[in-house]
Amino acid sequence: MFELNEKIAVITGSGSGIGKATALLFAKQGAQVHVIDLNEEACNETVKEIQQTGGKAVKHVSDVSNQQQVKEVFNKIGRIDILVNSAGISHIGNAENTTESDFDRIYNVNIKGVYNCLHAAVSIMKKNRSGVILNLSSIANIVGLQDRFAYSMSKGAVYAMTLSVAKDYLNDDIRCNCVSPARVHTPFVDNFIKKNYPGKEEEMFEKLSKSQPIGRMAKPEEIASLILFLCSDEASFITGCDYPIDGGSTKLNS
């Protein structure tokens, strides 16, 4: 089950975090993985890890917020069976202290970046009359998160785009879903704690972990496993759905 043999998968933001975990898992399951990231060093590392275990991977250093770059990369790839939109950035702030430049930065990557990839991939998938798209949203599209104004806005848009694409391309056999994680232990979390709570890293990590009902943060590999299922043939009847993967955060928090 969940084999991706002969599948061509494009994964944005796959230089680190959830995107990297997904790329490694997809390659393990037999897919040829196209690793897309803005960070060339991170891109190289992901490709190297995949190839060391006998997997197939190709690197593409690209900025998802640049439509021309995205089109060039996707046209070069040619056939796309699976697209995972994992590239994204975060921001801390509310409606008052979020600057216009902060807002634009989040929009350009988290919304326009997803749009650019959808815009390029859907036309390719339509030619083959098949395809699977998985977008990374967040529980921020379901519940209110403190000091995550711009980030929440962007993830709400990702959810809406997911529904729209799923509806518009039903007759082209293109499925589109999204997953909404709670807090995941990625390099971003470690860097955030180090920057904002110097000297209190362990204390804050524990506090943030315990804020989720299950008592810990998710591992990127756990999110990748759900993504694998939704992109596999075993999920062929699933489209237009959002899957919270949140350790109980949206339903069990009092």
Q: C-alpha dihedral over 59, 122, 70, 100, to 10 degrees?
A: -120
**Would residue 159 show up in a list of annotated catalytic residues for this protein?**
no
Q: What is the pLDDT of residue 191?
A: 87
The answer to the question of residue 204 being in a domain is yes
The answer to the question of residue 254 being in a domain is no
The answer to the question of residue 251 being in a domain is no
Query: What's the number of domains the chain is made of?
Result: 2
- Same-domain status, 51 and 174: yes
177 phi and psi, to 5 degrees? Answer: -135, 170
- Same-domain status, 170 and 212: no
| Helices and strands per DSSP (H, E), number in the chain | 9, 7
Record the tokens describing residue 55, joined without a space: 């997997």
- Same-domain status, 104 and 195: no
Longest dimension (CA), the chain: 55
Annotated catalytic residue within 107, 115, 151, 169: 151
Are 242 and 180 in contact, with CB atoms under 8 Å apart?
yes
Domain of residue 195: give its range: 185-217
- Same-domain status, 208 and 89: no
Q: Please classify residue 67 by burial: count the beta carbons closer than 10 Å to its beta carbon, then call 0-12 exposed, 13-18 middle and 19+ buried.
A: middle
The DSSP result for 108-136, as a single string, is: IIIIHHHHHHHHHHHHHHHHHT-EEEEEE
- Same-domain status, 208 and 233: no
pLDDT mean by block of 10 residues, the chain; 254 residues: 97 97 98 98 98 98 98 97 96 96 98 98 96 98 93 98 98 98 91 88 92 95 98 98 96 80
Model pTM score: 0.96
- Same-domain status, 75 and 46: yes
The answer to the question of residue 55 being in a domain is yes
The answer to the question of residue 1 being in a domain is no
CATH, residue 101:
3.40.50.720
- Same-domain status, 15 and 97: yes
Q: What is the pLDDT of residue 254?
A: 61
Task: State the sign of the Cα–Cα–Cα–Cα dihedral 219, 220, 221, 222.
Answer: positive
* Residues facing 179 on adjacent strands: 136, 243
The C-alpha angle 248, 251, 254, rounded to 5 degrees, equals 95
The answer to the question of residue 76 being in a domain is yes
Beta strand 242-245 pairing with 174-181: parallel
The answer to the question of residue 25 being in a domain is yes
217 phi and psi, to 5 degrees? Answer: -85, 160
Q: Please classify residue 131 by burial: count the beta carbons closer than 10 Å to its beta carbon, then call 0-12 exposed, 13-18 middle and 19+ buried.
A: buried
The answer to the question of residue 13 being in a domain is yes
- Same-domain status, 35 and 114: yes
- Same-domain status, 108 and 196: no
Question: What are the angstrom distances between the C-alpha of 130 and each of 110, 120, 215, 244?
Answer: 25, 15, 40, 25
